[in-house]
Amino acid sequence: MFSKSLTSKDSFLEQTKAAREERALEKKREQSAVRIQAVVKGWLARQKFIKRILNDFDELLPETATHGSQEEPAQPVDLLPALEVYRVTCRLFLVFKQQRDRTRFEKLCKYIVQSLHSDSVKLSYVGVFLNKEYSLRWISHIKDLLYKCCLYLEELKPESPMDMQSILVHLHTLVAFTATNTWALTRLKNFEKLRGGMTQLCANVMGSLFHKGYYLTLKSLLLRGLCREKIYLKNVSLTAIVTLSLRPLVSAQFSEKLLTMYIIQILSVPTLVYHMQQISPESISSFRSYSMFDKCVEFLSADQNLRIVFNTLEGNYALCLLANLVQLAHLEREHALPDTYHPTFVLVVTRFLDSCQQYVVCKKGNLSNWHPILGWFSQSFDTYLPPAMGNLRNQLSLLWGAPLLKKLLAMPLKDMIDAGVTGEEGAGPSQPSTPVQSNNPAAIIRRAIEARTNRSNANKHFRKLGSPDCTKTALICSMYHTALQTMTQVKLDILTGLCNQDEILYSLWQFLCTLGPNCGLKSFLDLLAVNTKTSAPEFQMLILFADCMTHYVTILDDMEMYEQQNPFKLQDFINMSQFLNMFVYKSIMGQLFDLKTIQSNELFSSLHTLLLVLYRRDCRRAYTPLNHWLVREIREGQFMADLEKGKKPQQVLVQKTPHMIAHGERVRLFRRAVADEKVVLGLTERACGGRSTLVTVRRARLVEDGYRQLGALPSRALKGCVRVRFINEQGLDEAGIDQDGVFKEFLEETIKRVFDPSLNLFRVTSEERLYPSPTSCLQDNHLQLFEFIGRMLGKAVYEGIVVDVPFASFFLSQVLGQTQQALYSWIDELPSLDRDLYRSLTYIKHFQGDISSLELTFSVDEERLGEIVTHELVPGGKAVPVTNENKINYIHLMAHFRMHTQIKDQTNAFIKGFRTIINPEWLSLFSTPELQRLISGDNVPLDLRDLRRHTQYYGGFHDSHRVVCWLWDVLQRDFSEHERAMFLKFVTSCSKPPVLGFAHLKPPFSIRCVEVGDDEDTGDTIGSVIRGFFTIRKKDPLNRLPTSSTCFNLLKLPNYQKRSTLRDKLRYAVNSNTGFELS
């Protein structure tokens, strides 16, 4: 009973709850419906209101004109009361939407700009401002209107013609309301008192815009309009933007804050000034009228300002700012203040470039990008930088262009030189003083001479390092030096620009000559002693001069250097090399550089490079006096003793500048290095203990057998003792004395055959000099043969055996490895290969007319086996014509092809073989002519006393023997120098003496008395010994000629009875070039 009543109650409560919830839900529905209706009604009301506002605006300002071109003037319209337009516009701004109302806003802008031309207060839009009731609201309204213009400028695309028209409208509006010069009202007499207030009104408006990103808007528009593949801004638009950018600055009287923002936001736009000059010359005039270049440079000259600007812009856009400043400097040469360039502009550019270096990295990395001016760069590019790089490079190139160089460097140098001492007064060669002992008579005389020299120098007024003139020049040079260090990818352009202006480099040389005796050598050394990091601007001046001079000498041909001598005379090069030689010597020996890291020192590297360029030029074609390169202060005995002790200065000197040491001492160093290596390898006679490599060769197949047996021999075995056994034509062993002579004969005969041009492995130049044949590939295994020849020649040099093989100097330069260096010029050594071709290429270089008239292309034809083969100097070279612009490249490529490309494989094979025997480090002791002397003997007259002193006698002859005395007397009195050389070749197969004299001739020179017939003589017979010893006389051997065995350096001399007979027979034998043939 109870459960049933309980169930009814629960059901009732649930029904009641459900009814209550239903009522609540219904109430919510009603409220929601009301709210929705309210929103909809409100939206409809607003839409009606907006529509009414828009209709009112459209009725007031109907569409009357279509878009025209950028240059089309605005069409006149009927003006309405300004107050009415203002009220409608204010209501429009209440409901303004940027995308929807774009066209309306442009109509408004066009209209109110037109209204400014009216002098009626009621019609001009500025007239509203004059109504006290609306003044403050109108100012706020104009600020809003102009800000909306800025918003539109940020989103419009200059590449779109329609958008470009809109951009012009907004720019015109901004121009109209940021200055009063277009307001007709201000020209009325009644309003003269209001002009100041209206100008302040414009300043107020611009201040508001500035704080809302006005400059950022203009920068964005400039980037989109100028930094693209196609330039979209035209004269009107660019002029307007530049005008708008200048107005806040002028209004604020160039305050530091605004000038900072202007430089950062506007002047850093890539190639802005370039396009201003090209598109809008009026803008350049505006810059000039406000002295913008002077003000910007003066502002940036303060360290704090420059740091703020650079840290804001960082690397890429800082370089763009620098490029714009450089072009302004170029344009304002005749208008800027005198002090703007020196020192202000110079210091600003130097600091900018120096700051850019922190972003330059040495090599490619994950975080680096390739910059076409700076190299690997730690910053990335945005979309605007790559299209501007070409023009950016053109802007920067103005820094080393002729007009700016003349302004910055040439004119100041000329003024200083004209006002001070002349170049000749400071350029004379002077030897530095030498510490000597007081009791030495020679020392006393030398000191007296030096004292007299010093007195004469004291009468000359030399400039001192640190003087105003020197500091000014050093700072300018420091700027260009920093440019070379920072803008690595245009380094060649900078050097070319500096060198092309001959008067600049020569004037700088003349200025250096005024710094003291020997170009201020002592002053620079004293400065280096206290400034070991070489950071002083004076050192950067020296580095710049050395780098430019190195480039200049490298591109100078023989006609320009030796014949024309304009502007540099040969005496200038002599004085220059004297200064460099002594500076490098004293800085090394005085340890003024850190000798462990000397190669990375920029000052040493630059001066050392120029020194080597001048030295190698002198080696190729001499212009200096004898022994010019030797340093007189070096005492050879003491120097060599210190070198053996391992003293660092002496080691560095031998490594870097061996030419300062006498050639003979360097040859002794070379021989000592060979001897030390033999000891290390156990190849001395005592260590070998009679062990040797035996080679059996057939005379008929000398080269083939030698190549087969020695070609694969390890270099260590070839450096050791090699014995040769000859097989004659009958297949029998030839008798040979167990000395080095048989090997020498094998070496001589091998070299004689392989260098025979008929074999086509080598060719001869017009001067009878040898070089690898370009067509040697017709010979089987020609590269292996070249490697074998290199090994054989290396063995001859290793053992000190001189062989009469004259090589072309360009080929020896490649053997020395000089062609691997960056500053090697192929055209310089072309005369050693083909003088006619050199003259032809020099003619092309100096050709004054249009070189294309010669119809040359980047290709060369060669006749090979009766066929014409064409080689292209560059890919597709047959179709590339030679023009005035690329002719320098053509002549260098042609020289490179003839001297390297054609014979590259042959030369590399030869060098590979040569260097398996001779350590390349040993070769660095010698120049190209000195290497030839090492191979073929000394290029000096035959020293008979030295030869006689080291002669051995056999067969009864001795030094006092009558025939021997006649021999020396005939050679001394009757033979010419040429005949004496032929005599030496007759007995040793080489016409030149050994480099260190006959004490080092192997085997030693010997003379043997011969009494039997030539066909019976076997060398040292008992009969010839006895007869020679007792001087047993026989009938005078009138029909017998002197003979020789060149393999043993042996002269076989009959016991003549008359001096005249000996003279005539010896002369006949020598001039008949007899030797082996008559033995």
The answer to whether position 1025 is within a domain reads yes
Domain for residue 207, yes or no? Answer: yes
DSSP string, 109-123: HHHHHHHTT---TTT
**Alpha-carbon span 169 to 149, nearest angstrom:** 9
Do 85 and 102 share a domain, yes or no?
Answer: yes
* Residue 792: CATH number of its domain: 3.30.2160.10
Whether the per-residue pLDDT at 13 is higher than 70: the answer is yes
110-113 contacts at long range (C-beta below 8 A, 24 or more positions apart):
110/65, 110/74, 110/77, 110/169, 111/61, 111/77, 111/85, 112/85, 112/145, 112/173, 112/176, 113/74, 113/172, 113/173, 113/176, 113/182
Residues recognised as catalytic: 1047
pTM score, whole prediction: 0.82
Predicted pLDDT of residue 822: 63
What is the pLDDT at residue 798? 92
Q: Of residues 54 and 314, which shows the higher confidence score?
A: 54
Q: Are 1046 and 748 in contact (CB under 8 A)?
A: yes
Q: What is the pLDDT of residue 459?
A: 46
Residue 903 is assigned to a structural domain of this protein: yes
- Point out the domain boundary residue: 183, 212, 241: 212
Do residues 468 and 556 both lie within one domain?
A: yes
Q: Say yes or no: 518 and 605 in one domain.
A: yes
The pLDDT-based confidence of 3 (bands split at 50, 70, 90) is low
Indicate if 987 and 894 belong to the same structural domain: no
pLDDT of 85 strictly over 50: yes
Whether the pLDDT of residue 454 is over 60: the answer is: no
Confidence tier at 68 by pLDDT (50, 70, 90) = very low
Q: Which of 212, 247, 280 is the last residue of a domain?
A: 212
Confidence class for position 580, pLDDT limits 50, 70, 90 = very high
Q: Is residue 108 part of a domain?
A: yes
760 in any annotated domain: yes
Mean pLDDT to the nearest integer, 213-217: 94
Average pLDDT of every residue of the chain:
85
The predicted-structure confidence for 321-330, as pLDDT tens digits, reads as follows 999 999 999 9
The answer to whether residues 158 and 40 belong to one domain is: no
Q: Is the pLDDT of residue 1013 over 80?
A: no
pLDDT of residue 1018: 39
Does one domain contain both 972 and 1070? yes
Centre a 10 Å sphere on the Cβ of residue 506 and count the other Cβ atoms it contains.
18
Name the token pair of 271.
Answer: 């190639």
pLDDT digits (tens, 9 = 90+) for 716-754: 888 888 888 878 777 677 665 444 557 777 887 888 888
Position 1014 pLDDT exceeds 60: no
pLDDT at 735: 60
pLDDT at 169 over 90: yes
Q: According to the per-residue pLDDT averaged within each range, which of 147-161, 796-810, 991-1005 is highest?
A: 147-161
Task: Give the pLDDT band (50/70/90) at residue 398.
Answer: very high
The answer to whether residues 152 and 98 touch, using CB atoms and an 8 Å cutoff, is yes
Q: Which two tokens stand for residue 874?
A: 């560059």
Q: Are 296 and 259 in contact (CB under 8 A)?
A: yes
Residues 569 and 470 in one domain: yes
Out of 98-112, 445-459, 788-802, pick the least confident.
Answer: 445-459
In this prediction, residue 71 carries a pLDDT of: 42
Q: Which two tokens stand for residue 927?
A: 């120049």
* pLDDT at 1003 (0 to 100): 81
Q: Which of 394-398, 724-728, 763-767, 882-886 has the highest mean pLDDT?
A: 394-398
d(Cα 353, Cα 396) in Å, to the nearest integer?
A: 11
Instruction: Please indicate, yes or no, if residue 889 is contained in any of the structural domains.
Output: yes
435 pLDDT above the threshold of 80: no
Co-location of 496 and 604 in the same domain: yes
Range of the domain at 1: 1-50
Which CATH number is 1006's domain given? 3.30.2410.10
Judged against a pLDDT cut of 60, whether residue 458 lies above it is answered with: no
For 403-412, write each residue's pLDDT tens digit. 999 999 999 9
Q: Same domain, yes or no, for 863 and 1011?
A: no
Structural domain contains residue 107: yes
Pair (932, 948) in one structural domain:
no
Same structural domain, 467 and 590? yes
Pairing of strands 1006-1010, 1050-1054: parallel
Q: Are residues 534 and 426 in the same domain?
A: yes
With respect to residue 254, please indicate whether it lies within any of the assigned structural domains.
no
The number of domains in the chain is 5
Average pLDDT over residues 580-586: 96
Q: Which of 158, 179, 212 represents a domain boundary (last residue)? A: 212
Is residue 486 within 8 A of residue 354, CB to CB? The reply is yes
Q: What does the chain come to in residues? A: 1079
